[in-house]
Amino acid sequence: MTTRDKWIDILHELHTASEPSPELRKQVEDQIRRDLARHPPPKTGLHPSIPSLPEFKFTPLIQDALTRVLQANGDITAISGIDLSRYSSLDFEADDPVEQQENLRKAYVALGYTQIRKDNLDLISLVGRNQWLLGNDELEQDLKTLEEDVMREQNEAAIIARREKGASV
C-alpha cells in the first residue's frame, strides 16, 4: 500500500468516524512523523519551489512621493496631501461689515461640513464601511425620489398657472 493510499484510508476513517480511536490517532501521528522525517521543513522558512521576490522598481511619481516623505522628518504638512488651508481660521479683523458677514457665513459652512465629515467618519467606524456605503446609497435614492416629487409638483403648479392664466384672459 502506497503512502497516498494510507493517507486516503486514514482520512476516510477520520471523516466518517465521529471521534478517532486511540489506535487510529496513533496511526495518523506515526504517518505524520514519517512524512516529516522524509521531508524536513526548509531552513529558510520558504519552500524551495517558491521563487524569491523580484526586485521592485517604483514609478518616478511614487519615488518622488517617498523622497518627500523621507525628507519631511516628521513634518506632517509636507506629506499629508490634504490642503489644510481650507480649515484654517478666517480673517474676522476686517473693518467692512459685509466682508465680516461673508467670513462668518464661510465659517458656518466650514463648521457644518466638518461636523458632517466627523459624523460620517464616526459612522464608518461604528457600523463598518459596507453598511455606511449602503446607507449612503439609500440616502441617494431618497434624494432622487424627493427631487422627482419636487419636479412633479413644479410641473403641476406650472399647469395650474397656465390654466388660470388662460381662464382669466
Proportion of the chain above pLDDT 70, given as a percent:
78
Provide the residue ranges of all domains of the chain, joining segments of one domain with +: 3-38, 84-127, 128-169
3-state secondary structure 52-110: CCCCCCCCHHHHHHHHHHHHHCCCHHHHCCCCHHHHCCCCCCCCCHHHHHHHHHHHHHH
Question: What's the mean per-residue pLDDT of the chain?
Answer: 80
Query: What tens digit of pLDDT does each residue of 99-151 get?
Result: 888 888 888 888 888 888 888 888 888 888 888 888 889 989 999 999 999 99
Could you tell me if 44 and 37 are in contact, meaning their C-beta atoms sit under 8 angstroms apart?
no
Residue 9 has pLDDT above 70, yes or no: yes
Query: What tens digit of pLDDT does each residue of 23-34 get?
Result: 888 888 888 888
Could you tell me if 125 and 101 are in contact, meaning their C-beta atoms sit under 8 angstroms apart?
no
Q: What is the pLDDT of residue 154?
A: 96
